[in-house]
Amino acid sequence: MLFKELDNESRRRLIDTQQRGDAFRTAMADQRHRFAGSMAWKDRGGKDYLYRRHGRVEKSLGPRSTETEVIYNAFCQGKARVEQRAEGLRKALEGMARVNRAMGIGRVPRLVARILRRLDDAGVLGNQVCVVGTNALFAYEAHAGIHFESGLLATNDIDFALDARRNLSLTATSMPDGLIGLLRKIDPTFAVQAAGDFRAVNATGLMVDLITPEPRNRLIVAPGRQRRLGGSVAPSLDEMTAVEVPRLGMIVDAPRFSATAVAEDGLPVWLAAADPRWWAAHKLWLAAEPTRDPLKRQRDRDQGAAVSMMLARAWDAIDLSDTILASMPRDLRRTLREAVARGAEQDSQTEW
């Protein structure tokens, strides 16, 4: 009763949307990077020079020659091809979206999907941040070809884990207004609870949390700059600062897993989360923590059991050996193996 498998037609639609979505994502990345800006010939002292302009930056690539002619032609032709490909894929996906919505394939809430797409465009999703908590389930079910029971997915927040060890200077360029600035471009009603808080909330009550692992030495608190996503060196009063969470390091250090899911708008959305083995083990650990809120502990237990069952019944062949799970605490390896074994014996197809 924790999930149901998609029928053959739904699987086909999902795979088609994923494939075109991945191709569109690649084309858009090419537009933003390989073919960003423009190239033009400019007269300098009676001689033509090739210039590449990107934003406000203009750089000379040298005087006109066989080599610079090749560079210019390759750029212009490549830019035209990728724009044509992106536009064709966009129209195809928009046409598929209507059917996806009608068939109930779209799963990721619309606003959550818009946030994920913006973070992906900024180049930080899967690098500086990954999705943790309930919304990671959308990535797992999109890969497994299943739908989790709706109660397991119900949430009014989305959590992003920040890995402060990664190069955050790049984020300052792609997200000059920080995470709160990015959120307000999507929905201007987003606001932080207080200066330097880890949570932003919009007018409908959707909460976006920025969290980061607690340091091994709990007496050390990471500087605020290492706990912010983008923004300037001197943050605004309403910038978001990640809060340190115990044992979150197990999720942040886990192998990354990514998948293309489908949002409620019928369009694809790319997610990056932790490997589901680590995610399930972390949830099962939370469920056993006596200090955790009882309601949350029950939900953690159900979600951990659901992903364990998925791994046993609907996933690729999985390796639960000590070699593969070496970064996971030994007691949690045992807990995970037991949960996967139970999941293999249970009936996942009970009607909801």
Domain boundary among 239, 274, 309: 274
**Centroid of chain to Cα 352:** 29
**Is 160 part of a structural domain of the chain?**
yes
Residues 248 and 129 in one domain: yes
The DSSP bridge partners found for residue 159 are: 132, 209
Return the pLDDT at 234: 53
**Is 10 part of a structural domain of the chain?**
no
Residues 321 and 216 in one domain: no
Beta strands 38-44; 47-54: pairing state: antiparallel
Residues 246 and 279 in one domain: no
Domain that holds residue 147: 107-274
**Is 17 part of a structural domain of the chain?**
no
In this predicted model, what pLDDT tens digit does every residue of 266-291 receive, in sequence order? 999 999 999 999 999 999 999 999 99
pLDDT category at 121 given cuts 50, 70, 90 is very high
**Is 204 part of a structural domain of the chain?**
yes
**pLDDT of residue 228 exceeding 90:** no
Residues 270 and 280 in one domain: no
**pLDDT of residue 333 exceeding 50:** yes
Residues 347 and 307 in one domain: yes
Q: Which residue has the tokens 């920080």?
A: 178
Residues 52 and 114 in one domain: no
Residues 262 and 123 in one domain: yes
Terminal-residue alpha carbon distance, the chain: 6
Residues 154 and 230 in one domain: yes
Return the pLDDT at 349: 47
Return the pLDDT at 254: 94
Residues 194 and 254 in one domain: yes
Token readout for 339 is: 């949960």
What percent of the chain stands above pLDDT 90? 77
CB atoms within 10 A of CB 232: 13
pTM: 0.89
Residues 46 and 62 in one domain: yes
Domain boundary among 257, 274, 291: 274
**Is 7 part of a structural domain of the chain?**
no
Residues 79 and 227 in one domain: no
In this predicted model, what pLDDT tens digit does every residue of 50-91 receive, in sequence order? 999 988 899 999 999 999 999 999 999 999 999 999 999 999
Residues 310 and 185 in one domain: no
Return the pLDDT at 223: 56
**pLDDT of residue 233 exceeding 60:** no
Domain boundary among 274, 308, 337: 274
Count of domains in the chain? 3
In this predicted model, what pLDDT tens digit does every residue of 310-327 receive, in sequence order? 999 999 899 999 999 999
**Is 308 part of a structural domain of the chain?**
yes
**Is 14 part of a structural domain of the chain?**
no
In this predicted model, what pLDDT tens digit does every residue of 132-151 receive, in sequence order? 999 999 999 999 999 999 99
